[in-house]
Structure 1
């Protein structure tokens, strides 16, 4: 899938610049909430990453996160494990308490639906050294 198609929103709208969480990302991301029902205690959002963008290491406490990759190419890595290359159709389940990060490859936009329960603990950014040594 072409970067331009991902940039314009593949399935769901790209949303607004993710300014509320910008401090937890390296690069620019966008967020479109998909479920806005206060009776539902699970967040569901379309997250889009510009090429080279990634979020900081983080942990979900008392919950989990499921990523449904809908476009582009990206990375997912749990602490102590090799990074996993992601493409449209991939599904990632992050269990409670697992330190991890995810984001776009250097040359591709990347988008996923994030289904998230619990409270995130945001940690340090993924270093350029780790990120720049990733190869698909």
Structure 2
């Protein structure tokens, strides 16, 4: 047994994130284990780019409110204490809502050293569409 000391905080790179995102590695996969995980903190409105994981990803929200969205338009609003799993190969993104910070643990299994395929940034239009699915606008008829 040993105490695992978290790695230093680093700013998420622009080629993987939009907005201010900060990463703390907590555990790197050491054979025979394939599990690695990190604490990821998002400023309001910050988000990942589209990406997928060869063996899936599990996100556990520790603080704040976040969005997890898939290419088919499915959106989950994630709160502290909740966990979301994306299956292997599913293209998705995740990040904070416009009015809240988000902190989550991101758990992934390494597939021969490969953990993710990073794709294009999430457009403002896609981000706003996901937000509107979880916070519908009040129409004049509803007032």
Alignment partner, residue 118 of structure 2: 122
1:1-136 alignment runs, 5 A limit: 16-19=9-12, 21-36=13-28, 38-39=30-31, 40-61=33-54, 63-118=55-110, 119-133=115-129, 134-135=131-132, 136=135
Q: Detail structure 1 runs of 4+ shifted over 6 Å in the superposition.
A: none
TM superposition shift of 1:82: 2.7
How far the C-alpha of 1:23 sits from its partner, in A, is 1.5
1:81, CA displacement in angstroms? 2.7
Give the structure-1-normalised TM-score: 0.81
Structure 1, gaps ≥5 residues long: 1-12
User: Are 2:35 and 2:108, in contact at CA under 8 Å, matched by a contact in 1?
Assistant: yes
User: After superposition, what is the alpha-carbon deviation per residue over 1:21-49, rounded to whole angstroms, capped at 9, x for unaligned?
Assistant: 33210001111111146333211110000
Deviation string, structure 1 residues 59-96 (Cα, Å, up to 9, x no partner)? 112x1110011000110011113321111011111111
